[in-house]
C-alpha cells in the first residue's frame, strides 16, 4: 500500500508525529500521528515545538517542575539565550541586600540569581547581561555594547557565585583591561515576587495550532488532513510569514474550564498536574482545545484552535 502524501507538501508521509510535544515528557498511551507528515516537514515544524517549549510560559513551568524533554536534544539554559528564533526568558527580582534588580534563573526547580552583569542607566532602568558558560572576553564586550540603554551608566555590577569568582573576574578584566573590580559580598538568599516576561511570536501560536490540528487527526481517523476545509489551518501552521492577524483568525481562548472537577479544591490530589487536549466537531465548525500545565497554582489558559 502506497503511503499517503504529506499534508503539508507532496512528499510521501513517512514519519511519526507526537501531537503532545515530547518536550513535556513521555506519557503512556499518548496519541501518535503516523504517516501523515513527511520527515522534512516534521523536522521543520519541530521548530514550533522548540520555541513553544523553551520561550513561552511553558518553559518556566518546565523548569519549576523539572520536566525534561528528549535526552538527544541540546540542553539549553532558556534564561541565558533564546531558542528557535524566540527570545530568552526574562525573570527578575530585587536583591534587597544590594538594593539592586537582578536577573534570575530556575535550575532543578530552584530560583536563584544568574551569573550576570547588571547596569543601571540614567533613566533608572536596569539592564542585565547573562554570563554563559564558555563566554569569551570578545563576546562579553560585544554583547554589552548591544545593550539598549540610556548611557552613560550610573552603576555597573557583576553577580556570580563564589565558585566562579576567579573566572568571572578574569573574564571581565580581559574584556575591559582598564576596569577595576572592587571587593564583593554575598547578596540575598530569599526573593519576593519575582516577575517573568515572555515574548510570544507567531511560532508560539502556530505550535498551538499544530498541536490541536494533529491531535484532531488522531481522534477523527476518517479525515486525512488533506481535505479542502483544512487548507487554511495547514497554511497557517506551515507559513513562517504568518502575522498576528492570521493568528487571531485561528487561535482564541476559552473561558469555561475543560476540567471543572479538577479545579474543585476538595478533589485535587496533592501536587497534581495535567495536560489536556480536546476536539469537538459540530455543525459548521471543527475545534480543538489545548491546555498545558493545569495545576493548583497556575491558571493555565485554554487555547481554542479553529480548525475548519
Task: Flag whether 10 is in a domain.
Answer: no
The boundaries of the domain holding residue 217 are 16-74+199-306
The DSSP bridge pattern shows strands 285-295 and 302-306 to be: antiparallel
Considering the domain architecture, whether residues 129 and 190 belong to the same structural domain is answered as yes
Q: Work out the burial of residue 160: count CB atoms within 10 Å of its CB; fewer than 13 is exposed, 13-18 middle, 19 or more buried.
A: buried
Task: Flag whether 82 is in a domain.
Answer: no
Residues of the chain with pLDDT under 70: 1-3, 70-74, 262-263, 265, 267-269
Q: Which of the listed residues 146, 166, 197 is the one where a domain comes to its end?
A: 197
Considering the domain architecture, whether residues 249 and 269 belong to the same structural domain is answered as yes
pLDDT for 269 equals 65
Task: Flag whether 65 is in a domain.
Answer: yes
Considering the domain architecture, whether residues 63 and 94 belong to the same structural domain is answered as no
Output the pTM of the full model: 0.90
> What gap in Å lies between CA 162 and CA 168, rounded to an integer?
10
Query: Which residue has cell 491531535?
Result: 215
pLDDT for 2 equals 59
Considering the domain architecture, whether residues 143 and 183 belong to the same structural domain is answered as yes
pLDDT for 70 equals 67
Considering the domain architecture, whether residues 279 and 231 belong to the same structural domain is answered as yes
Tell me the three cell numbers of residue 168.
568571572
At 100-153, the pLDDT tens digits run: 999 999 988 899 999 999 999 989 999 999 999 999 999 999 999 999 888 889
pLDDT for 73 equals 56
Task: Flag whether 8 is in a domain.
Answer: no
> What gap in Å lies between CA 18 and CA 39, rounded to an integer?
13
Considering the domain architecture, whether residues 141 and 166 belong to the same structural domain is answered as yes
b (16+ CB within 10 A) / e for 58-96: bbbbbbbbebebeeeeeebbbbbebbbebbbbebbbbbe
Considering the domain architecture, whether residues 150 and 235 belong to the same structural domain is answered as no
Q: Work out the burial of residue 53: count CB atoms within 10 Å of its CB; fewer than 13 is exposed, 13-18 middle, 19 or more buried.
A: buried
Q: Which of the listed residues 156, 181, 197 is the one where a domain comes to its end?
A: 197
Considering the domain architecture, whether residues 193 and 207 belong to the same structural domain is answered as no
Amino acid at each position: 500500500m502506497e503511503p499517503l502524501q504529506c499534508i503539508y507538501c507532496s512528499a510521501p508521509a513517512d514519519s511519526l508525529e507526537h501531537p503532545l510535544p515530547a518536550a513535556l515528557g513521555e506519557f503512556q498511551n499518548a496519541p501518535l500521528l503516523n504517516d501523515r507528515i513527511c520527515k522534512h516537514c516534521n523536522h521543520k515544524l519541530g521548530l514550533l515545538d522548540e520555541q513553544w517549549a523553551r520561550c513561552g510560559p511553558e518553559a518556566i513551568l518546565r523548569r519549576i517542575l523539572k520536566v525534561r524533554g528528549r535526552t538527544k536534544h541540546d540542553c539549553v539554559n532558556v534564561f541565558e539565550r533564546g531558542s528557535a528564533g524566540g527570545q530568552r526568558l526574562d525573570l527578575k527580582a530585587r536583591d534587597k541586600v544590594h538594593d539592586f534588580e537582578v536577573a534570575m534563573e530556575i535550575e532543578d526547580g530552584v530560583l536563584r540569581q544568574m551569573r550576570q552583569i547588571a547596569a543601571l542607566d540614567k533613566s533608572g532602568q536596569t539592564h542585565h547581561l547573562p554570563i554563559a558558560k564558555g563566554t569569551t572576553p570578545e563576546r562579553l564586550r560585544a554583547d554589552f555594547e548591544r545593550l539598549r540603554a540610556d548611557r552613560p551608566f550610573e552603576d555597573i555590577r557583576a553577580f556570580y557565585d563564589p565558585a566562579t569568582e576567579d573566572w568571572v573576574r578574569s573574564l571581565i578584566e580581559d574584556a575591559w583591561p582598564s576596569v577595576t573590580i572592587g571587593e564583593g559580598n554575598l547578596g540575598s538568599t530569599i526573593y519576593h515576587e519575582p516577575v517573568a516576561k515572555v515574548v510570544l511570536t507567531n511560532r508560539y501560536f502556530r505550535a498551538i495550532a499544530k498541536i490541536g490540528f494533529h491531535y484532531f487527526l488522531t481522534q477523527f481517523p476518517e479525515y486525512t488532513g488533506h481535505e479542502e476545509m483544512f487548507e487554511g489551518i495547514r497554511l497557517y501552521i506551515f507559513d513562517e510569514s504568518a502575522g498576528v492577524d492570521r493568528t487571531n483568525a485561528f487561535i482564541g481562548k476559552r473561558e469555561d474550564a475543560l476540567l471543572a472537577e479538577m479545579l474543585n479544591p476538595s478533589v485535587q490530589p496533592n501536587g497534581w498536574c495535567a495536560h489536556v487536549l480536546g476536539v469537538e466537531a459540530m455543525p459548521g465548525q471543527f475545534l480543538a482545545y489545548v491546555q498545558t500545565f493545569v495545576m493548583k497554582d497556575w491558571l493555565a489558559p485554554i487555547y481554542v484552535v479553529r480548525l475548519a
